[in-house]
């Protein structure tokens, strides 16, 4: 006996909380899969009805009322094709993360996610109760097993589904991106498939949601763990996998195989998608950026143009007496190369006005970092005024290295609604700039090659205050992302003085980071959703050599 089913994979960019429009999108994809691809079944991503993660929207009773209403509409309006969707479901006082099969106008199969992630950016145990039953059923002669996201990363759910007779595992996901995540994810899923000797269809959400970017990259692998179907990363899409069964033999035939991006290209695409969706989904008219002639604002501006189009990006150069001619020239050259609106507003008059007004209360004090911060705050005020008047959101430009050690001014260069490179270490900023210039040379070469400087005092360079970034960034990765003790960092060859200084700067600047704009997560541990430390804390890591 032989049978064949065609399964559509729907990689949809939904909006958290926009339940009605999300259901519209599912219906649209179902009709396309039915009419264009002649699919029997469409598989959508985890929590596709609400978007993922909906966070504390899940605690609002009205939220669940609307989910129920739109689920009923979905069941009523989809015909001629079956659909698997993800959604949250309340049962009394318990809530479950569900994968549901809709067939003939009703839910015919329902699976409750067993493994609830509660680490890094995930908080599912705050909301959901874990399921304890498999969902294995016959579908047109093929026995399917439904699972959700984290289930495939752990022993148990997949193996139980296979024990209960599953011949094909369908796994729906809301799996966010970080560097090398696509390869890591495929490795885990393919290994699981090979271990249980069952093919897997893996469907992932795509799109930006606040700090998170979901890369899509949905795929299918056979029972040997070989990828036979691969969808694009960072783009919406619909594709089809053919499942054929002859006797006891089951095979998958893919119809799409997109080559995986190189690591730098993936990170850059994630940043572009994150900015585009944050601006569009929040209804901003565009963005404005303080273009200083430095590397951070140069990369941020280029990302913004790639995300939003030149017509939706304005930049302002805000020179002061310490601003070099090179910075002015390079800012102008980049703006010209990108074709964006370029404005020059000197901050000297407003700086002088502030200093004059503060003179009576500053009498007897020497000039120090206060005057540098006034410069930065004049720039922040200028950008926010432009934002208020034009409706363009300020895109701030601080990188992860600066955010880690507090090398930024509150209410100055930290001013903004969103930060494209908040989780991008400084060394990676340079690598991404070089990568982007291989597409088209828009960032002047001097911006990449010259010594970085805040230009807040004469002849200032970043290394006056910080270790060289080639030293700083690895120390930060070990301390911030890997939670490595100071002694072990030193054992890796870094100077004790550098390690001590960096750790102190990281620990004492939590209050700044708490007030920073949200930004795109591209590492395994970003500030904000991942790394959550108290501002007021008496704890300090033990530094043996300072006893």
Distance between CA atoms of 84 and 47, rounded to whole angstroms? 11
Distance between CA atoms of 428 and 432, rounded to whole angstroms? 6
Per-residue DSSP letter, 291:
-
Task: State yes or no: cis peptide before 53, omega within 30 of 0.
Answer: yes
Distance between CA atoms of 474 and 468, rounded to whole angstroms? 11
Give the 3-state secondary structure of 473-534. Answer: HHHHHHHHHCCCCHHHHHHCCCCHHHHHHHHHHHHHCHHHHHCCCCECCCCCCCECCCECCC
Give the CA-trace dihedral at 24, 29, 35, 38, to 10 degrees: -140
Distance between CA atoms of 132 and 128, rounded to whole angstroms? 13
Distance between CA atoms of 311 and 8, rounded to whole angstroms? 37
From 432, 471, 478, 476, select the one nearest 263 (Cα to Cα).
432
CA distances (Å), 329 to each of 335, 349, 390, 411, in order?
A: 10, 21, 26, 27
Residue 541: Cβ-neighbour burial (10 angstroms; 0-12, 13-18, 19+): middle
Chain position carrying tokens 């900023």: 429
Is the Cα torsion angle 387, 391, 392, 397 positive or negative in sign? positive
Residues known to be catalytic: 46, 113, 149
What is the layout of strands, in order, in the sheet containing 313-317?
341-344, 313-317, 287-290, 393-396, 418-419
CA distances (Å), 229 to each of 203, 240, 246, 308, 349, in order?
A: 11, 9, 20, 31, 61
Give the 3-state secondary structure of 147-189. Answer: EEHHHHHCCCHHHHHHHCCCCEEEEEECCECCCCHHHHHHHHH
* Termini Cα distance of the chain: 77
Q: Which long-range contacts (CB under 8 A, 24 or more apart) does 354-357 make?
A: 354/378
């Amino acid at each position: 006996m032989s049978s064949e089913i065609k399964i559509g994979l729907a990689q949809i960019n939904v909006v958290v909380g926009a339940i009605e429009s999300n259901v519209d999108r599912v219906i649209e994809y179902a009709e396309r899969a039915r009419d264009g691809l002649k699919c029997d079944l469409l598989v959508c991503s985890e929590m596709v009805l609400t978007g993922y993660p909906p966070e504390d929207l899940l605690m609002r009773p009205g939220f669940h009322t609307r989910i129920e209403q739109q689920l009923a509409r979905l069941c009523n309006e989809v015909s001629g094709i079956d659909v698997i969707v993800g959604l949250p479901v309340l049962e009394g006082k318990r809530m479950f993360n569900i994968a549901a099969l809709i067939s003939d106008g009703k839910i015919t199969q329902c699976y409750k996610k067993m493994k609830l992630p509660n680490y890094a950016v995930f908080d599912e145990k705050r909301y959901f109760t874990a399921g304890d039953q498999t969902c294995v059923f016959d579908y047109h002669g093929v026995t399917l097993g439904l699972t959700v996201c984290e289930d495939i990363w752990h022993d148990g759910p997949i193996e139980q589904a296979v024990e209960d007779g599953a011949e094909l595992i369908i796994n729906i996901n809301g799996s966010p991106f970080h560097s090398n995540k696509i390869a890591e994810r495929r490795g885990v899923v393919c290994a699981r498939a090979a271990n249980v000797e069952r093919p897997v269809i893996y469907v992932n959400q795509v799109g930006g949601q606040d700090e998170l970017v979901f890369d899509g990259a949905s795929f299918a692998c056979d029972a040997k763990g070989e990828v036979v179907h691969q969808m694009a990363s960072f783009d919406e899409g619909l594709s089809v996998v053919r499942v054929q069964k002859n006797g006891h033999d089951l095979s998958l035939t893919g119809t799409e195989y997109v080559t995986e991006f190189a690591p730098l290209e993936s990170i850059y695409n994630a940043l572009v998608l994150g900015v585009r969706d944050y601006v569009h989904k929040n209804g901003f008219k565009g963005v404005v950026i303080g273009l200083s002639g430095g590397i951070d604002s140069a990369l941020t501006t280029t990302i913004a143009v790639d995300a939003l189009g030149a017509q939706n990006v304005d930049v302002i150069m805000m020179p002061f007496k310490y601003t070099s001619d090179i910075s002015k020239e390079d800012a102008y050259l980049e703006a010209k190369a990108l074709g964006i609106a370029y404005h020059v507003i000197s901050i000297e008059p407003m700086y002088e006005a502030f200093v004059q007004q503060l003179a009576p209360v500053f009498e007897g004090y020497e000039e120090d970092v206060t005057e540098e911060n006034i410069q930065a705050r004049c720039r922040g005020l200028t950008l926010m005024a432009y934002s208020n008047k034009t409706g363009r959101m300020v895109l701030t430009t601080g990188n992860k290295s600066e955010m880690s050690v507090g090398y930024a001014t509150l209410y100055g260069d930290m001013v903004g609604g969103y930060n494209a490179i908040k989780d991008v270490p400084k060394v990676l900023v340079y690598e991404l700039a070089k990568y982007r210039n291989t597409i088209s040379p828009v960032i002047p070469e001097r911006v990449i090659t010259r010594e970085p400087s805040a230009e807040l005092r004469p002849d200032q360079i970043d290394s006056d205050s910080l270790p060289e970034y080639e030293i700083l960034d690895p120390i930060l990765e070990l301390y911030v992302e890997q939670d490595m003790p100071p002694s072990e960092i030193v054992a890796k060859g870094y100077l004790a003085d550098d390690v001590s200084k960096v750790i102190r700067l990281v620990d004492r600047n939590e209050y700044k980071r708490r007030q920073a704009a949200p930004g795109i997560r591209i590492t395994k541990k970003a500030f904000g959703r991942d790394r959550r430390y108290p501002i007021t804390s008496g704890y300090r890591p033990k530094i043996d050599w300072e006893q």
